[in-house]
């Protein structure tokens, strides 16, 4: 079982969670707004704090401001398990495939303090 855990940003289609869990039901895939995670509308810096505190990789489609938020987060001496940026040019299936590949073939420390833009393959 992988140590990778995903937190889907609130603007990520919830169908990704269903598709990921269909690939492997042992995956941990939570979404902003779920019980125990930041609520819908939580500011990105607070989401990054939560991801750090709970060791979740953030899956987002926020390419515009997330790099700046990560820079600010790191400047405070904080760290992040990683941010995975979705690519609007990838199909739904290709995106799921990449997330499954990352989950199955990676260790969390490989993405620490990084933003990875999909695709990885």
Please give the average per-residue pLDDT across 19-45, as a whole number: 96
Q: What pLDDT does 41 receive?
A: 95
Please give the average per-residue pLDDT across 81-97, as a whole number: 96
Please give the average per-residue pLDDT across 28-39, as a whole number: 96
Judge whether residue 84 has pLDDT over 80: yes
Q: What pLDDT does 63 receive?
A: 81
Q: What pLDDT does 108 receive?
A: 81
Judge whether residue 120 has pLDDT over 90: no
Q: What pLDDT does 1 receive?
A: 61
Angle at 30 between CA 47 and CA 107, to 5 degrees: 85
Number of structural domains, the chain? 1
SS (H, E, C) the chain: CCCCEEEECCCCCCHHHHHHHHHCCCCEEEECCCCCCCCCCCCHHHHHHHHHHHCCEEEECCCCCHHHHHHHHHHCCCCCCCEEECCCCCCHHHHHHHHHHHHHHCCHHHHCCCEEECCCC
Domain of 55, in residue numbers: 5-117
- To the question of pTM greater than 0.75 for the whole model, the response is yes
Q: What pLDDT does 90 receive?
A: 95
The CATH number of whichever domain residue 12 belongs to comes to: 3.40.50
d(Cα 16, Cα 104) in Å, to the nearest integer?
A: 16
């Amino acid at each position: 079982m992988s140590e990778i855990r995903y937190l889907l940003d609130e603007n990520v289609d919830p169908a990704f969670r269903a598709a990921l869990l269909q690939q492997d039901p042992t995956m941990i895939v939570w979404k902003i707004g779920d019980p125990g995670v930041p609520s819908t509308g939580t500011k990105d810096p607070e989401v990054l704090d939560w991801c750090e505190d709970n060791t979740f990789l953030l899956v987002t489609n926020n390419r515009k401001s997330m790099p700046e938020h990560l820079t600010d987060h790191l400047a405070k001496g904080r760290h992040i398990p990683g941010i995975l940026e979705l690519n609007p040019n990838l199909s739904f299936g290709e995106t799921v495939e990449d997330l499954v590949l990352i989950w199955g073939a990676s260790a969390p420390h490989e993405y620490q303090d990084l933003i990875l833009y999909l695709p990885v393959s």
